[in-house]
Amino acid sequence: MSQEIAVVGSPEFTTGFRLAGVRRFENVADDDKDDELDDAAERVLDDGVGIVVMHDDDVEHLSRGVRERVETSVEPVVVTIGSGTGGSGLREQIKRAIGIDLMEEED
């Protein structure tokens, strides 16, 4: 599995990651979101990266097939961040990524 991180989203979203050293990114302008977001997400999913970062709102704009692929992808691991990611969403992402629930409650 690759250790490279890719970021997909608006230029405003990707800029912070680029400043932090992420070199693989796909900028999608807000006015092109409906046309370009699916293509950008599929490019990074097929590119051999280890982690894909997207904003929650962008995932909602994906077509049904691409959104399902993003939500069920194990390799690369897709991490969504933003207004909709709560504790349970992050918990599910971690569980999907490593295969176990670290927060599992004992009886």
How many independent structural domains does the chain possess? 1
Give this prediction's pTM: 0.76
Structural domain contains residue 104: no
CA distance 104 to 52: 25
Q: Give tens-digit pLDDT for 36-83.
A: 999 999 999 999 899 999 998 899 899 999 999 998 888 899 988 876
At 5, which helix (H) or strand (E)? strand 5-9
CATH number at residue 75: 3.40.50.10580
Sign of the CA dihedral with 73 first, then 3, 59, and 88 last: positive
Structural domain contains residue 103: no
Six-digit token string for 44 = 């990074």
